[in-house]
């Protein structure tokens, strides 16, 4: 009899522990994981006299890897049931060397065919988004918001001997509109999706930014879960800074897996 009672209590405790929190009931949450993107990078730098530079495909022309595993992280503070702030960060840095199959005009420098060069393309993304929940109950949430999506790009080409090096950087703090939704379809399972979008001229930048995310979350215990997701980021920018005039098309998308904590 005592054994049965003890077993019943243990099962009840386990069931209680395994129940996920209601949607929107957490005050703080974080996500830490690995992202496995496919990357496509094209950029050009005009000469100081205004001559258009060559559109360089960094993966094809300069042998940069078109895939990489990188950490991703975000944190959310829900300071009121319908109001929250989300902070995201990740960094993608790549470099490689190769022999050019054609001539590249990069700024005021010309890299001729059959020259062995090193290419670099680095990006750091830091985004802060405010979200307001238009609809919220224990099983679902739909929110809209605004944010600032800041991306620092550095693109460079240099001779392997180090005698010639041209590197350009741009820091693009771009405002975005955001839409995000979450739905619990089983006790410990949730689906979520979100998009951030911008298409306008802001200061020295004219272009388009789209960030998309969709995932499935499973919470085996109340405060901890795992997520499998698909992430996609796409930039199309024309840059008109005094020291850098050119353009950039930059896409990276692929699956991710993350640990989630909610408290």
pLDDT digits (tens, 9 = 90+) for 14-69: 444 456 689 999 999 999 999 999 999 999 999 998 899 999 999 999 999 999 99
Identify how many contiguous H helices and E strands the chain contains and give both numbers. Answer: 1, 14
Per-residue pLDDT, averaged over 150-159, amounts to 92
Domain CATH for 66:
2.40.128.90
pLDDT of residue 205: 83
Q: In angstroms, how far apart are the furthest CA atoms of the chain?
A: 91
pLDDT of residue 242: 83
| Distance set, CA 258 to CA 31, 144, 182, 262 (Å) | 6, 24, 17, 13
State the Cα–Cα distance between residues 213 and 216, nearest whole angstrom.
Answer: 11
The per-residue pLDDT of the chain, averaged, comes to: 90
Is residue 23 within 8 A of residue 137, CB to CB? The reply is: yes
Give percent helix, percent strand, percent coil of the chain, each to the nearest 5: 5, 70, 25
pLDDT of residue 13: 40
Mean pLDDT lowest for which of 74-83, 118-127, 164-173? 164-173
SS3 51: coil
This prediction's pTM: 0.87
With a CB cutoff of 8 Å and minimum separation 6, the contacts of 174 are 148, 149, 150, 151, 198, 202, 205, 209
State the Cα–Cα distance between residues 7 and 52, nearest whole angstrom.
Answer: 75
- Show the domain range for 223: 2-262
166-205 residue pLDDT tens: 998 888 888 999 999 999 999 999 999 999 999 888 788 8
Number of domains in the chain: 1
Token match 């959310």: residue?
76
Confidence band of 9 (pLDDT split at 50, 70, 90) = very low
């Amino acid at each position: 009899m005592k054994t049965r009672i003890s077993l019943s209590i243990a099962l009840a405790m386990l069931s209680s522990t395994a129940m996920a929190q209601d949607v929107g009931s957490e005050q703080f949450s974080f996500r830490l994981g690995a992202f496995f993107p496919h990357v496509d990078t094209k950029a050009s730098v005009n000469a100081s006299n205004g001559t258009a530079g060559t559109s360089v495909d960094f993966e094809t022309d300069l042998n940069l890897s078109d895939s990489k595993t990188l950490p991703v992280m975000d944190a959310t503070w829900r300071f009121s049931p319908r109001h929250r702030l989300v902070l995201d960060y990740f960094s993608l840095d790549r470099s490689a060397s190769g022999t050019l199959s054609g001539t590249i005009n990069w700024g005021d420098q010309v890299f001729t065919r059959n020259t062995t060069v090193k290419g670099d393309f680095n990006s750091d993304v830091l985004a802060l988004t405010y979200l307001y929940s238009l609809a919220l109950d224990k099983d679902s949430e739909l929110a809209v918001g605004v944010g600032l999506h800041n991306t620092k790009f550095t693109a460079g080409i240099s001779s392997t001997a180090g005698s010639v090096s041209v590197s350009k950087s741009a820091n693009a703090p771009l405002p975005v509109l955001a839409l995000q939704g979450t739905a619990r379809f089983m006790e410990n399972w949730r689906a979520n999706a979100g998009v951030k979008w911008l298409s306008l001229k802001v200061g020295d930048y004219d272009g388009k930014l789209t960030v998309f995310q969709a995932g499935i979350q499973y919470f085996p215990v109340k405060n901890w879960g795992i997520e499998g997701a698909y992430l996609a980021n796409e930039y199309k920018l024309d840059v008109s800074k005094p020291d850098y005039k050119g353009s950039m098309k930059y896409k990276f998308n692929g699956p991710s897996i993350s640990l989630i904590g909610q408290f």
